[in-house]
Amino acid sequence: MTIIVPTKGVMYTFVCKCWLARDMGDGLTSRIYDILDAECVFVGLKILYEITVVTGDVPGGGTDASIYIMLFGCNGNTEEMQLEKDGDRFEVGQTDIFIMEIPDIAPLRKMRVRTDGEGCRPDWFLEQVT
C-alpha cells in the first residue's frame, strides 16, 4: 500500500503481504501499520492551486474545445495540464473552478492558456483567470 502526501512531498510505502480475510491466513480482517515501519521517499513538494476560469458573457463566447494551462514560476514550470471539461464547463458567462495539485514553483511569473481549436464550437472568449 502506498500513501502519497503531496503537501509534504513524501510517499510512504507499507509492505503488507498478508490476508485480510476471516478464512485465510491468521483470520484477521484489519491491521494497524506503524508509520515507522513504512519506507519513506521524498517525491517533491506539491501545492494545491485553485484556478478560477471565467468565460466572457458575449454571444458565442463558450466553447466545446479542450482548454490547457501551463504555469511558470521562479522555481520551474508545470507541464501543460488540461482543464477537465466535466459537464458544461466554459459556457457563456460561466465561472469554472479547478483544484490542481502541482509542484511548488512559486512565486508564479506567468501562465499560458490555449485551446485545441476542436469541437463544434472551437472559439472561446476568455474573460479572466484567477
Backbone angles phi, psi at 37, to 5 degrees: -90, -5
Interval 86-122: pLDDT, tens: 889 999 999 999 999 898 888 899 999 999 999 999 9
* Other C-beta atoms lying within 10 Å of the C-beta of residue 62: 21
Interval 3-34: pLDDT, tens: 888 878 888 999 998 999 999 999 999 999 99
- State the Cα angle at 51 between 110 and 70, rounded to 5°: 40
DSSP β-bridge partners for residue 10? 5, 42
Q: Catalogue all structural domains in the chain, each as residue range(s) with its CATH number.
A: 2-42 (no CATH), 48-129 (2.60.60.20)
